[in-house]
Homo-oligomer: A and B are copies of this chain.
């Protein structure tokens, strides 16, 4: 779970070494690439890169190109390094799905802090899986649920169901969809069983029970 891999892409070996040293000290595993093409190759070879630090100016394929390419298949966090902080570039970056934007010269400490912050945020680090919405705190690892700070007891299925609802908050879910996700896809029982579970869940959630809305003729929806 720890020992996350960070891919550092820069054509200057001095810069790669600098970043690598700091990240390694912080417990990350650093993989290097010296240009855009190599970056893509390395990224697709390893399927467990947790984050990419990408220099904009590079031979062969520049940072934007690499970013666009990767974004077409992956949501891996990307930090862009740029020489001068040009607003135009930065805006372009956000459109491309860059997560962070750091201009040179930067403090290595800041860089490491941002890397940690992003990984924490994207729940790649341990302990992560905690979801909160409207006073309901759901901890997937601990398999526990709190409502307004008070722990409530849910059965396995109830927990799964609530997780699914919260993960898909705001989305109208048909019974079929719910069955296929919360139950096994090969479950051929009665979809009415969902109703029963929803009822129990609503009951246990108390006043917050009506965050689970009924969508008539369609299914259910969880909403804050």
Contact = CB atoms under 8 A, between A and B. Distances in A.
Interface centre among A91, A116, A117 (most CB of B within 10 A): A117
A48 B87 CA distance: 31
A78 B131 CA distance: 16
A173 B216 CA distance: 26
Kindly report how many copies of this chain are found in the complex they form together: 2
A187 interface: no
Interface stretch (A7-15, A25-33, A135-143): A135-143
Q: How large is the interface on A (under 10, 10 to 19, 20 to 34, 35 or more residues)?
A: 35 or more
Contacts of A75: 130, 132
A218 B142 contact: no
Main secondary structure, interface of A, reads loop
A216 B47 contact: no
B117 A99 contact: yes
A217 interface: yes
Nearest to A115: B94
Q: Which 3 A-B pairs have the closest CB atoms?
A: A156-B217, A143-B172, A94-B113
